[in-house]
Amino acid sequence: MRGTEATTIEETEAASPDAEFIAQANERLLDASPRETLRWVYDTFGDDAVMATGFGPSGVVLMQLVSEINPGAGVFYLDTDLLYPETYALRDELAERFDIRFIRVGAPSLKDQAAQHGDRLWERDPDRCCFIRKVQPLRQFLAGRRAWITGIRRDQSHLRAATDVVGWDKANKLVKVNPLALWTEDDVWSYIHLNELPYNPLHDAGFPSIGCMPCTQAVAPGEDPRAGRWRGRAKTECGIHLKA
């Protein structure tokens, strides 16, 4: 079993590859399989590339591939201390099953956040809460790295509809690689069932998209898959995948 580890934050700035390099890589990998894209990332960036996961089904698919292509690779997750018990249990199951090394990226304690911003900040100002618990820790963790890998897909929402396979993440100043950008939800679930991969049981209980407990609800049949996230608000993204 590969364990989990805490992070050391380095505040160095990565050099930006030129726009032509990114455009050419994107063009070439748009038709590539996720496996080919992941090989390219690790061949190009080595240990300066790191995968992110929120433990959704796309992330599970990628973790299985990463485990085969680059055994022992680091996979980080943003631990807001507000994830579902089922999500932590899935993390432990994946750590047993795959040859990957989970890296926990933590946020300020909930006690400190309550002391500074008041209790249950997510109910009053979810953008600020997401900034403190997700956006800021992500920015600090990625500083000094050259590429990160995510499971986001074009079919997940209109804000993700223009997702490239390879792009430049302006906010975090590094290359962002999305090997499943052109996959559909059906593609992901077919792969999971075909390969008998584990997944969060909450998906079978009406939760297609799962984040922090206070900001996630079940959706009704036919409803937008992300409708249960920050229900009742215009907010649909925590901010880590928004283009700056």
Place of tokens 């400190």: 112
Please tell me whether residue 130 binds ligand SF4 under the rule CB under 6 A.
yes
Of residues 63 and 129, the one with the C-beta less far from ligand SF4: 129
Q: How many helices (H) and strands (E) does the chain have?
A: 9, 7
Which residues are within 8 A (CB) of 33 and not within 5 positions of it... i.e. 6 or more apart?
none
Least separation in angstroms between CB 185 and ligand SF4: 21
The encoded tokens of residue 204 equal 């079978």
In the shown chain, the binding pattern of residues 176 to 205 toward ligand SF4, with x for contact by CB under 6 A and - for none, equals ------------------------------
Please tell me whether residue 241 binds ligand SF4 under the rule CB under 6 A.
no
Please tell me whether residue 54 binds ligand SF4 under the rule CB under 6 A.
no
Of residues 121 and 166, the one with the C-beta less far from ligand SF4: 121
Of residues 113 and 172, the one with the C-beta less far from ligand SF4: 113
Is 238 assigned a catalytic role?
Answer: yes
CA distances from 70 to 7, 73, 151, 195 (A): 20, 6, 17, 19
d(CA 235, CA 171): 19
Of residues 120 and 193, the one with the C-beta less far from ligand SF4: 120
Total residues contacting ligand SF4 by CB under 6 A comes to 13
Binder to ligand SF4 among 2, 91, 134, 160 (CB under 6 A)?
134
- DSSP string computed for 109-178: -HHHHHHHH-S-HHHH-HHHHHIIIIIHHHHHHHTT-SEEE----GGG-GGGTT--SEEEETTTTEEEE-
- Whole-number CA gyration radius for the chain: 17
User: Restricting to residues 64-83, which ones interact with ligand SF4 according to CB under 6 A?
Assistant: 80, 82
Least separation in angstroms between CB 182 and ligand SF4: 27
Contact 199, 60 (CB under 8 A): yes
Binder to ligand SF4 among 149, 165, 215, 219 (CB under 6 A)?
215
- Catalog residues that contact ligand SF4 under the rule CB under 6 A: 80, 82, 122, 126, 129-130, 133-134, 211-212, 214-215, 238
